[in-house]
Amino acid sequence: MTSIDVQALTKEYGSRRAVDALTFRVLPGRVTGFLGPNGAGKSTTMRLVLGLDRPTSGTATIDGRPYATFREPLRHVGALLDAQAAHGSRTARNHLRALAASNCLSLTRVDEVLEETGLTSVANRRVTTYSLGMRQRLGIAAALLGDPEVVLLDEPSNGLDPEGIVWIRGLLRRLAGQGRTVLVSSHLMNETASFADHLVVLGRGRLLADTPMREFIHARVKPRVRIRTTDATALRSVLTAHGHDAVQHEDGHWTVPDARVDDIGHLASAAGVPILELAAEEATLEQAYLDLTATQTEFTAQPQEV
C-alpha cells in the first residue's frame, strides 16, 4: 500500500501562503483528482511532495518516507510537472535515456514507454520540433519510465488533442486499476469528472474537500428531471399539485429540480399527461464545484497567481 501523505503542510513565498496547513491522503487503486483554480496551490503541493521545494512547516511523504530518501526514486514515483522539462535540442529517446541511466533503468523501458505514449516514430527527433501535445506525451513517458507505484501528473491533458485526451483518460483508469496511486491535478471540471474516483479540492492553499467524487457531486447538486409534453397546462397543474416547482424553458422542455424520474413519470402517467421525453439530468462536477466555491465567497474571485 503506497500512499501519499500530506500532513499540516504549509509553504510561504515571502508573505504569501501558497499552501496553508494542508492535510490529506492519496490512496492507491483509484484516481484522485486534484482540483482548484489557478494559483490554489496544486503545483506547489506536488513540488513539496517531490522534495523540490522545502515546506515552511509540515511534512509530505510517499510510502511514509520523504521523497529525497528514495535511492532510485523513479522506480517508486513518476511525475509530470512541466511539459517543457526536456531540453529542446535533445531527442526524446536521449532525454529518456539520461533519466533511465540515473536510476539504473534499462533501455528496454525507454522503448516501452515511447511505445506506450505513441512516440516511437518520432523518438529520434529533437524535442524542439514537438507540438505541446507531443511534449506532454514525452513528460508522461518520463513519469512512467520506472514503472512506479505512485504517479503524480500536473495538468496532463494540457495541449493534448481530442484523441490524446481519450488516451490519457484510459491510461489513468488503467494505472489505478493496476493498484497504483494516481494523483492528477486539473482546473478542468468535465475532464476531471471523466477519470477521477476521488477528489481533493483546494482553494487559496487550503483544503476545501476530500471526498469520493460521486458523494461530492450528490451532496451539493440535487438531481433534476427533464421533461417534455404537448400539454403544458396539464403538466404544470399536476406538478404544482404535488409540490414540484417546475421551470419551463424556451425550447419547450421543463426541468423539475430535486426530483427523480420514477416519481415524475408516475405522476404524469396517472394524470394522463402526454409525455414526449422524460430523463434524469445528471448533476455535473462543474455544478458541484461552483456550488462549493459559491459558499466560500472568498474563492470565487480568484486572482491569477503562478
Partner 1 sequence: MAFLPVLHSEWIKIRTLRSLVGALCAVVVVTAAFSALGALDTGDEEVDPLFSAFFGFTFGQMAAIAFGTTAVSSELHGGSLRGALTAVPQRGRWFAAKMVAIAVPSLAVGLITGVASLAVGTAALGADARGLSWAEGVRGVVGCGVYLTLMALFAAGLTALLRSGVATLSILIPFLLIASFVVGDMSAGVADYLPDRAGQVVFHETWDGSLGPWTGLAVTALWTGAALLAGAWNVRRRDA
Q: Which residues bind partner 1 (CB under 8 A)?
A: 47, 50-54, 67-68, 70-74, 77, 79, 81-82, 84-87, 89-91, 94, 97-99, 101-104, 142
Q: Which is nearer to partner 1, 91 or 287 (CB)?
A: 91
CB count within 10 Å of CB 230 equals: 11
Q: Which is nearer to partner 1, 104 or 241 (CB)?
A: 104
- Distance in angstroms (rounded) separating the CA atoms of residues 139 and 210: 27
As given in the structure block, the three cell numbers for residue 203 are: 482553494
Q: Which is nearer to partner 1, 51 or 159 (CB)?
A: 51
Shortest Å distance, C-beta 185 to partner 1: 14
Q: For residue 279, which of 295, 258, 301, 264 has the smallest C-alpha distance?
A: 264
Q: Which is nearer to partner 1, 84 or 240 (CB)?
A: 84
- Distance in angstroms (rounded) separating the CA atoms of residues 4 and 181: 8
Shortest Å distance, C-beta 260 to partner 1: 48
Bridging pattern class, strands 16-26 and 4-13: antiparallel
Q: Which is nearer to partner 1, 80 or 259 (CB)?
A: 80
Shortest Å distance, C-beta 100 to partner 1: 8
Q: Which is nearer to partner 1, 61 or 103 (CB)?
A: 103
Shortest Å distance, C-beta 204 to partner 1: 20
Give the SS3 label for residue 5.
Answer: strand
Shortest Å distance, C-beta 123 to partner 1: 13
Q: Which is nearer to partner 1, 110 or 199 (CB)?
A: 110
Question: Which stretches within the chain are classed as H helix?
Answer: 42-49, 92-102, 107-116, 132-144, 162-177, 189-193, 213-220, 232-241, 261-270, 285-295
Shortest Å distance, C-beta 145 to partner 1: 9
Size (the chain), residues: 306
Shortest Å distance, C-beta 159 to partner 1: 14
Q: Which is nearer to partner 1, 55 or 221 (CB)?
A: 55
Q: Which is nearer to partner 1, 86 or 171 (CB)?
A: 86
Q: Which long-range contacts (CB under 8 A, 24 or more apart) does 140-144 make?
A: 140/80, 140/168, 140/171, 141/92, 141/96, 141/113, 141/114, 141/116, 141/117, 142/78, 142/80, 142/85, 142/86, 142/95, 142/96, 142/99, 142/113, 143/78, 143/79, 143/80, 144/78, 144/113, 144/116, 144/117
As given in the structure block, the three cell numbers for residue 264 are: 415524475
For CA atoms 87, 92, 97, 100, the dihedral sign is positive
Is residue 205 within 8 A of residue 6, CB to CB? The reply is no
Shortest Å distance, C-beta 167 to partner 1: 22
- Distance in angstroms (rounded) separating the CA atoms of residues 267 and 275: 11
Shortest Å distance, C-beta 135 to partner 1: 10
